[in-house]
Amino acid sequence: MMRSSNPVFRTLERSNTYEGSDVATYRGIVFKTASLLLLAVLSGYFAITQIPIESLFPLMFGSMIVALIAVIVSSRSPRLAMPFAIVYALAEGVLLGVITVLFNSYVPGVALAALIGTASIFVVMLFLYSSRTIRVTSRFRTIMYSVLLSFLVFFILFGILNIFTTITFNVPIALAISGVMIIFGALMLALDFDRAEHIVEGGADKSYEWVVAVGLMVTIVWIYIELLRFLAIFSRNR
């Protein structure tokens, strides 16, 4: 079995066999991923247009907790994946809606640019993977896992140091860090496409389509947020 750096897909590796009369398909994965993204968009739009601004920030932090719980449950229990995937999309939509408005007020037009950039990265990575220009090998996975571990250590140390002192980065360093995060997110897509391929080719039960869809959405959200950050920093310091 192949492995993925996306924590949602790693749950699937604990299953040696798949059972069920109705098996997962690429069409099902695409449909469910698109449905979750649409729910997130609608949820975010509702939050920023219908909810009073003084309630948005408490709602945003609450949505973070709900989204985290939902993504953990949906990745660990295929039977509960569908309802919790929907809960995740709705909660994540509120969070993304608020973040998008904040960034777009800081740099007008940055949200649209980040959206186009995210879609472009997804299409390019899908083409590179499907054409086998990028091959997911054991060495590729090892490098990705090492980089992921480095990111985790960096963020933990950064968070601890920020408790005792304020750490700031100059513009070139901030852009470099954000750029590396975007590239890493794009490469995560290759691993996730590989995992989705093994789920379909291995005859996984159709309920796993929701698990795969959530995993793809996690990566897409990662890329979108990092693109927002990168473009905002770049635009404000031109």
In a domain, residue 180? The reply is yes
Q: Is the pTM for the entire model greater than 0.85?
A: no
Residues 105-145 pLDDT 10s: 888 999 999 999 999 999 999 999 989 898 888 888 888 88
pLDDT mean over 212-232: 93
In a domain, residue 48? The reply is yes
> Phi/psi at 205 (nearest 5 deg)?
-60, 150
| Whole-number Å distance between alpha carbons of 172 and 225 | 18
In a domain, residue 125? The reply is yes
DSSP 8-state code for residue 105 = H
In a domain, residue 161? The reply is yes
The confidence score (pLDDT) of residue 31 equals: 94
The confidence score (pLDDT) of residue 19 equals: 47
Q: Which residue has the tokens 């997110």?
A: 185
Domain count, the chain: 1
Residues 30-84 pLDDT 10s: 999 999 999 999 999 998 888 887 777 888 888 999 999 999 998 888 889 999 9
Least confident segment among 18-27, 145-154, 229-238: 18-27
**Extended beta strands in the chain, E state:** none
| Whole-number Å distance between alpha carbons of 124 and 122 | 6
In a domain, residue 231? The reply is yes
Q: Which domain holds residue 29?
A: 7-236
In a domain, residue 1? The reply is no
In a domain, residue 156? The reply is yes
- pLDDT tier, 218 (very low <50, low <70, confident <90, very high otherwise): very high
Q: Which of 96, 110, 86, 126 is nearest to 214 (CA)?
A: 86
In a domain, residue 2? The reply is no
- For the cut 80, the answer to whether the pLDDT of residue 100 exceeds it is yes
